[in-house]
Amino acid sequence: MKKDKLRFFKRLKRFNYGYFRIKIYDLKLLKLFESRRDVSKLSLKLEVSPELIEQRMQEFGRSLAPYYKDYVSTTSSDVMAMSFELATFTLALCEIAKPKKILDLGSGFSSFCFRYWIKNHSPNSEVLTVDDAPVWLDKTREFLRHNDLPGNGLITWDELTVGGYGMFDLVFYDFGSFPVRKSSLNRVLDFASLPSITILDDMHSGDYGLHVKKTLRERTMECFSLLRYTTDKFRRYAYLAIR
Residues in contact with ligand SAM, counted by CB under 6 A, come to a total of: 16
Q: Is 77 in the site for ligand SAM (CB under 6 A)?
A: yes
The residue (of 39 and 90) whose beta carbon lies closer to ligand SAM is 90
Identify the residue among 89, 136, 191, 208 touching ligand SAM (CB under 6 A): 136
Per rule CB under 6 A, is residue 83 in the interface with ligand SAM? Answer: no
Q: In whole angstroms, how close is the CB of 125 to ligand SAM at the nearest point? A: 18
Give yes or no for residue 93 binding ligand SAM (CB under 6 A).
no
In this chain, which stretch among 8-16, 23-31, 52-60, 104-112 interacts with ligand SAM, using CB under 6 A? Answer: 104-112
Residue span binding ligand SAM (CB under 6 A) among the ranges 9-17, 101-109, 120-128, 227-235: 101-109
**61 touches ligand SAM (CB under 6 A):** no
Residue from 76, 90, 196, 231 touching ligand SAM (CB under 6 A): that is 76
Q: Does 169 bind ligand SAM (CB under 6 A)?
A: no
Which residues have a Cβ under 8 Å from the Cβ of 5 and sit 6 or more positions away?
none
Query: Binding of ligand SAM at residue 154 (CB under 6 A)?
Result: no
> Rule CB under 6 A: is residue 82 a binding residue for ligand SAM?
yes
Residues that bind ligand SAM (CB under 6 A): 76-77, 80-82, 106-110, 131, 133, 136, 174-176
